[in-house]
Amino acid sequence: MQHFQQHYGPWALVTGAAQGLGEAFARALARRGLRLLLVDLQTEPLEALAAELRQQGVEVEAHTVDLADNAAVQELLAAVGQKEIGLLVANAAYSVVSPFLEQSVENHDRHIDVNVRSSMHLVHALGGAMVQRGRGGVILLSSASAGQGSPLLASYASSKAWLQVFAESLHLEWKARGVDVMALLPGATDTPAFRDSGAMPRRVQGMTVMPPEPVVEEGLKALGTHPFWIAGRSNRWSSGFLHRVFGRRFAMRVYGNAVRRLYGVEEKT
């Protein structure tokens, strides 16, 4: 615990913190003694979480920010001020499950703005200070969908693949300088966003839907050791088995069929 505070404290910035994995990260980091700067688009649940954590003696700042707006991201960075951010958890994500051409180009832009551009700007602004101090950490929330192409998730999965490669690259650049960078790849996770997406996991044989808390605990345990981490033993096994034994094209077909079943969409011929 003390080592965690010394290496990743005193402040952690968590985006998408109001619910789901972001909320689980906030609670886990509070238990580890970090001060929290929490960011989300939804004001009411964000303020409720912040108030609850303050009652537990945690120092918390809450900021309502639309991460798709670059000016708002810059305002957030200005609000950070002189706070020493030792850990960045870029968890916020935008996701629409739908065929590519049935979404507007503005929708696709938002996938890039929230998932990619805001994360890159935050890492660039906050990571430089970490490198100068010779300590710190960055967790970028990727996804199991990053491992291969997927129908219905073209922009989302592509943005998550970008985050994984970005994390791996910075892992190689910054590890020797004392800063740990890792991509965390959850599979199906029981979050409000997953439930609201219309997913029907019972349609997919063998699919495991993990609670947020073990995903977060696995990620925090893997930070500092791995450049990326697939959450869930069954997810790690199935991903490794499909890609190593059968190859990427077969993995694409298997994963794509699972996504279609998950959302009740038949393949068009």
- Which residues belong to the active site? 156
Residue 19's CB: how many other CB atoms inside 10 A? 18
Q: Token pair of 138, please?
A: 């960055």
Three-class DSSP category at 226: coil
CB 89 within 8 A of CB 12: yes
CA distance 21 to 212: 5
Copy the structure tokens of residue 226.
Answer: 């791995």
Residue 72: helix, strand or coil by DSSP? Answer: helix
Dihedral angle computed from the Cα positions of residues 188, 191, 193 and 196, in that order, rounded to the nearest 10 degrees: 90
Helices 118-133 and 154-174, interaxial angle, to 10°? 10
How many other CB atoms sit within 10 Å of the CB of residue 8?
A: 28
